[in-house]
Amino acid sequence: MKVLIIYCHPSKESYTYQILEQLKESLINESIEFQISDLYQMDFQTDMTEKEYMREGLLNLDLSISTDVQKEQKKIENADCIIFLYPVWWSDCPAKLKGWFDRVYSVGYAYGYDGKGNEVQRMKNIKYGIALCTAGHPNKFLNEIGVAESMRNVMIDDRLGQRFNKKEMIILGGTLDREKVENEHSDIVKNIGRRIKKYCI
């Protein structure tokens, strides 16, 4: 089985990077092959060009898809599981990850219509998808104010949607006081490799 990690954080000094290292260790321990799209390291272009808008907004499928987008789509097609690892910034993922969805989920690939109102897509269904995000506020607070539900609605119901057979969001909250949550978070991340095997075999 193969895992694709879409990683989005600008700093290797961050708690999110620490989680990435633990995640890699979990996958290695389970002998799971993985590939990482580090969006900041790649300097992935997140702004849609005018040409891309003409393709997306006007459903002009005759226009070509950018090479960098094609590379990401190929990674998706080779994956059994995709993990989106990112920090929660202003109740959502960073803009660079949002831009990845804007461009990589292109019309005719991740969505589209057949002229009769039926939704069609060429993107294969992925067995398992995980939105794994770090958050400064504790999970209890994020649930109380409705942010956790909002994030799940957008990321799980819309962005992952019907494209994934099994999907979940794991919020590693409370990072403003790391010492209180590090052990709990580590236990969760260490178990991810086993969870992937459970849903992808």
Average pLDDT over residues 22-42: 97
**Residue 63: pLDDT over 80:** yes
Q: Residue 44's domain spans which residues? A: 2-200
Q: How many domains does the chain have?
A: 1
Residues 6 or more apart whose Cβ sits within 8 Å of residue 74: none
State the Cα torsion 192-197-199-201 to the nearest 10°: 170
User: pLDDT tens-digit profile of 90-99?
Assistant: 999 999 999 9
CB 35 within 8 A of CB 114: no
| Phi/psi at 185 (5° precision) | -65, -40
Distance CA 99, CA 76 (A): 16
35-53, pLDDT tens digit by residue?
999 999 999 999 999 999 9
pLDDT at 122: 84
CATH number of the CATH domain containing 6: 3.40.50.360
- What is the model's pLDDT at position 116? 59
Instruction: Give 107-154 pLDDT, tens digit per residue.
Output: 989 988 665 566 666 899 999 999 999 999 999 999 999 999 999 999
pLDDT at 159: 96
Using the predicted structure, report yes or no on whether residue 67 has a pLDDT greater than 80: yes
- pLDDT exceeding 70 applies to what percent of the chain? 96
Q: What pLDDT, on the 0 to 100 scale, is given for residue 58?
A: 85
More confident residue, 82 or 113: 82
Check residue 66 and give its pLDDT: 94
